[in-house]
Structure 1
Amino acid sequence: MTTPNDDLVRAALEDAASTVTEDGLRPLAAPVSGGRGRLRLRWAFPGVAMLAAALLALLVLAVPRVWDGGRGGPAMSPAAYAGAEYVLEGTGMGPAAEVTIEEVATGRTIGRVRAPAGSGGFLHAAGAGDNRTFYLATADARACLVRFHRLVLGEDGAPGPLEPMPELAIPGRPADGFGLLAVAKGGGRLAYSTVGCGPGAASEGRITIVLTGNGARTHIDLIPGATASQLRWARDEEHVSAKLARDGADGYELWVFGGGDDVRRVTFGDPAARLVVGTVAPDGDEVVAVLATGDTLRMVWYSLDTGTITRRVPLPGASAKDGAIGGGELVEGRGGDGYAVLIGDRLYRVRGTAVESEPVRDGGGLGGGNGVW
């Protein structure tokens, strides 16, 4: 594997990033007419403004040389690019009896945390942006509840006690796909995607926003038959984006949810284009997404004010056949002018209209696959 060039390293050290994952959703729904959707917002506590924010990443493209799993040569990984010291491994591919905390620089296992007895195992996890605080989800099928637990690491990465947070439990069962849990930077809010319980309830998709300090929540009921995944918070903490899928149709749609009736479906104006991954920009006025037409991939900037694409940047050498690590990692640079996406075994970084790429290795404990930080 080649060493990153000097420009990439300098750019990497300037960026700030964050994460998330997904593409295991069911086929998506036919487009809904109009820019605003027929979604119902229900407030569990009056006066609590709906907080939501499109996923996004805290990117600090740094530390490109890390442990390579004994294969020889320097390695790159999502966690290393994010500047993370530790990564939480084990969730995202079905119930996990335990999660492990691993050191990015060495691949060394720092500790293990067992799922609570009788919980069925950890299903999803998300970090709060400090690389020390994590929220983990378990499901209680009999009670039709999703429960949350908080884990805080010490400065040396050692896990503290797992803290149950019963006041945050939400009704429903986990939806399909990756990225069902997203935590806002600072850990003050989380978003989770569920469907209903019981016969015929699998199509009752919902996103719930929960204030972790007091359990106040907002329920966002989705279009009938739709489910959400790849939840992402915007830095403004007022918008959250989600990738929607519905039975009986091909492709996916990107929706952005803000306060009150600020609910928008992003239409890219190209019926042949398929959504790979998307996120709301920090100011909440723009969406950045990766689209596929055939096997060709491109990154686009879409204005929520005008409803039009303002910039298109092809990703040379990238193919939709390669898939995307973790279902699609889209990370944003500190100045807002740089974005990167992991496709196959390469990271493509876009600044303005310039594109550069470097090979990336999934090194297990390096935050490849379904690791979170």
Structure 2
Amino acid sequence: MKTLPEDLVREALADAAATVTPGSLRPLTVGAPRRRRRPVLFAVAAATAMALAIAALVIRPSDHATEAPRMTLAAYAGAKYVLIGALPPGRPVSVTEAATGREIARIPAPRGAAGFWDAAGTGDGRTFFLTTVDVGRSLIHLYRLYLNTDGTPRTLTELPQLALHGLPGEGPRLLAATRDKSRIAYVTESGAKLTIGKNGGYSLTDDEHIRERITVLDVATGRRRAVDLPEGQIADQLTWTLDGRRLLFTAETRGGGLRVLDAATGEIRPVPLGPAGTELIGAATDADSGHIVALVAGRGQGHARWYSLATGKIDRDVPLGEVRPGSPTVVAFGDTIVAEIGDHLYKIANGTVHKQPIPPGVVDLSPQGAW
């Protein structure tokens, strides 16, 4: 995995680091509840795979110096290159430098396709998977993209053995790839009325009887395991554990919350993270894939909670401060969770929480793109 050099991260956070005091956590904020789709143009944003190492949690500032370059959350999390685009109804994709936002190259759409719909990185900074959608035929095509060391495209290869019938599901991050690049997972949907627009996009109208499916595909052979979700349940925010054995996703309706899918058996089980009313902000797995680490909010308090996959219980709970209304941005990448909350950045890596005011001059902190 290509990561941003530590000295560049230090420079990026220099101007404000001196004002941070240990233990002074900024309150988390609660995300707005998801609204079900009526007739609406389908939209999706792709993001990344996630992980977090478990260690003694310490809250401390960083003692950094010198000027702050332009920086994105992707760069702060360790990404070198970001794919921007891959949105319905088919958009072009460009490779940009994470730290500066400089466009390096544009990826032309495959012949016969208007553009790409989904993208997922694998964590090495150079291997990505993308989709295009033939809406009229309800057919999803998958591709693998390799980048050179300088971020320029090397190859874009269609993977016909991975083609899927159906239409993309609803929500962000419907496509996820394992770290070893051997498996991908994707969410498709059926049971909705389809209307194709003149611009190649489409709208879907449903009456709460949609059916979504998560399909796990072997990249080399095309073998697949399809897991149907309960009627009306929406899956998004897909991310693999580092060992590629389990898939985390968020169930957005009807008893929603975090779920974990066993890729070998297709079994899905809920991940309880607190009493009724606890709201999930973001989640990842640790370096050995033994724990899920979740940022949650409930009863006016933010928490970081460690859930053991072996015991099915929370075995660490770290309060993070008072919860205020609003929608935090949470990005996870590699062995790091990065959150932009209010006017501060939070970085959780190797069991340590770093809190930094957003430095002057830093722009485009949104989690757009895939890396």
TM-score, length basis structure 2? 0.73
The residue type paired with residue 153 of structure 1 is: L
Please give the per-residue CA displacement for 1:231-251, whole angstroms capped at 9, x wherever unaligned.
0000111011110112xx5x8
> C-alpha displacement at 1:279, in angstroms?
2.7
1:63-212 to structure 2, matched below 5 A, reads 73-92=68-87, 94-196=88-190, 199=193, 203-212=210-219
Q: Residue 287 of structure 1 contacts residue 302 of structure 1 at CA under 8 Å; is this kept in 2?
A: yes
Name the counterpart of 2:44: none
Please give the per-residue CA displacement for 1:33-72, whole angstroms capped at 9, x wherever unaligned.
xxxxxxxxxxxxxxxxxxxxx941489xx9x999xxxxx9
SS of the equivalent of 1:205 reads strand
Q: How has the CA–CA distance of structure 1 residues 178 and 162 changed in structure 2, closer, same or farther, with 3 Å as cutoff? A: same
SS of the equivalent of 2:69 reads coil
1:40-59 to structure 2, matched below 5 A, reads 55-57=49-51
In proportion to residue count, which structure has more strand?
2
Q: Residue 229 of structure 1 contacts residue 242 of structure 1 at CA under 8 Å; is this kept in 2?
A: yes
Please give the per-residue CA displacement for 1:198-221, whole angstroms capped at 9, x wherever unaligned.
546962111111111111111111
Unaligned ranges ≥5, structure 1: 9-21, 29-53, 67-71
Name the counterpart of 2:7: none
SS of the equivalent of 2:292 reads strand
Q: Residue 297 of structure 1 contacts residue 320 of structure 1 at CA under 8 Å; is this kept in 2?
A: no
Identify which of 261, 269, 290 aligns with 1:285.
290
Please give the per-residue CA displacement for 1:133-179, whole angstroms capped at 9, x wherever unaligned.
11111111122122111221112211134322221111211111111
Q: How has the CA–CA distance of structure 1 residues 353 and 371 changed in structure 2, closer, same or farther, with 3 Å as cutoff? A: closer
Name the counterpart of 2:24: none
> C-alpha displacement at 1:74, in angstroms?
3.2
Q: d(CA) in 1 for partners of 2:246 and 2:173? A: 16
Q: d(CA) in 2 for partners of 1:2 and 1:96? A: 36
Q: Residue 331 of structure 2 contacts residue 367 of structure 2 at CA under 8 Å; is this kept in 1?
A: no
Q: Residue 318 of structure 1 contacts residue 343 of structure 1 at CA under 8 Å; is this kept in 2?
A: no
Name the counterpart of 1:330: 332
Instruction: Give % identity.
Output: 34
Q: d(CA) in 1 for partners of 2:310 and 2:251? A: 21
> C-alpha displacement at 1:108, in angstroms?
2.2
Name the counterpart of 1:307: 312
Q: How has the CA–CA distance of structure 1 residues 278 and 73 changed in structure 2, closer, same or farther, with 3 Å as cutoff? A: closer
Identify which of 236, 245, 265 aligns with 2:243.
236
Q: Residue 97 of structure 1 contacts residue 114 of structure 1 at CA under 8 Å; is this kept in 2?
A: no
What is the Cα-based RMSD across aligned positions, in Å? Answer: 3.5
Q: d(CA) in 1 for partners of 2:161 and 2:244? A: 21
Q: d(CA) in 2 for partners of 1:114 and 1:293? A: 45
> C-alpha displacement at 1:314, in angstroms?
2.3
